Amino acid sequence: MDDLPQELIALIACFLERRDEYPKEEFPPPKPAASKLPPYATISRKWQLAIECRTFNAIHLKSTELSHPAQTLTGHRRAFISALTFEVVLPEYDDHRCARFETQEEMEANNQAFTNAMQALFVLLKSWEPESTHEQSRSIALAISAIYSPMDKWHRPARKAEEDDWNWGIGKRADLWEHRYEHSLIRLLEHANLPSLAIISSLDILSDSRRLEPRSVALLATKLPQAHTVKFDLFDNQSKHPNNNQSARYGMFTPLVPLLAIPSAGQEY
């Protein structure tokens, strides 16, 4: 079979089942099963390339795991990546803090954790860019899918989340759940230290319980000169603090002024 053209082997690989399917009615849904594709990569060099083209086409990373990609995503594997989903993990807080609103100190720690995560990600992605203009350029769609602490409502271990919810329901536990941080905004600090990335074609910041400050979104966009779209949900309906709404809108627009003045930028927000 190794005598077949690479293109034909790649086509065959597209029809291989990646994972076992679970009944749709099963709840809660189980964790994704291990991929069934890796064994095929051991058949030959051509099969390795065909399988890795599928395996590394879309990758998911957490800020706590950025040391691993530097070791595994080397050489030709980087060229297969067209989409990257990124999760930012914030510091964990004690159980008794679940019944208390976030303090200024906790907010600052979260901001620093987010900044460190973006700095590490941008440095990693910068190392993937071609070293010369003669190398083939590629583009990656970047999505920040979640910003959370492991103690946040939807991210606690399943068993603990179930116990906490039960104890809260019968009055044996005090917990603010997502209200603990509903008025907190995650901010990007020291954005000037982020490298500019020509490899990113789009940025999508998905809606999550932890909200990113609008200005921080704009600052990230200024570091992505080749991104044609930047999508995010803007929350500026703070009825208790109406002045913050106008401040947030102005803060978001200010960093974008230089980009909007360049007709060739071609970015959409």
For residues 45-50, average pLDDT: 76
Residue 253 has what pLDDT?
Answer: 62
Asked whether the beta carbons of 59 and 84 are under 8 A apart, the reply is yes
- What's the pLDDT tens digit per position in 2-27? 677 777 877 777 777 765 554 455 44
Task: Say if residue 150's pLDDT is above 80.
Answer: yes
pLDDT for 239 equals 56
Give the model's pLDDT for residue 109.
97
How is the beta sheet containing 229-232 ordered, strand by strand? 58-62, 83-89, 140-148, 200-205, 229-232
| 248 pLDDT tier (thresholds 50, 70, 90) | low
Label residue 29 by pLDDT band (50, 70, 90).
very low
Q: Is the pLDDT of residue 180 over 50?
A: yes
Could you read off the pLDDT of 164-173 as tens digits, one per residue? 999 999 999 9
* Rounded (to 5) percent helix, strand, coil in the chain: 45, 15, 45
- What pLDDT sits at residue 84? 94
Mean pLDDT is lowest, of 18-32, 70-84, 187-201, for 18-32
Tell me the HSE value of 98 on the side-chain side, using a 13 A CA sphere: 21
**Cβ proximity of 261 and 228 under 8 Å:** no
Decide if 245 contacts 183 (C-beta within 8 A): no
Q: Hey, what are 6's tokens?
A: 């690479």
Task: Pick the more confident residue, 83 or 70.
Answer: 83
- Work out the widest C-alpha separation in the chain, in whole angstroms: 69
Mean pLDDT of 241-267: 58
Reading the block at residue 68, the tokens are 């691993």
Reference 122, options 226, 64, 199; nearest CA is 199
pLDDT value, residue 177:
94
Contact 237, 250 (CB under 8 A): no
Q: What is the mean pLDDT of residues 71-93?
A: 87
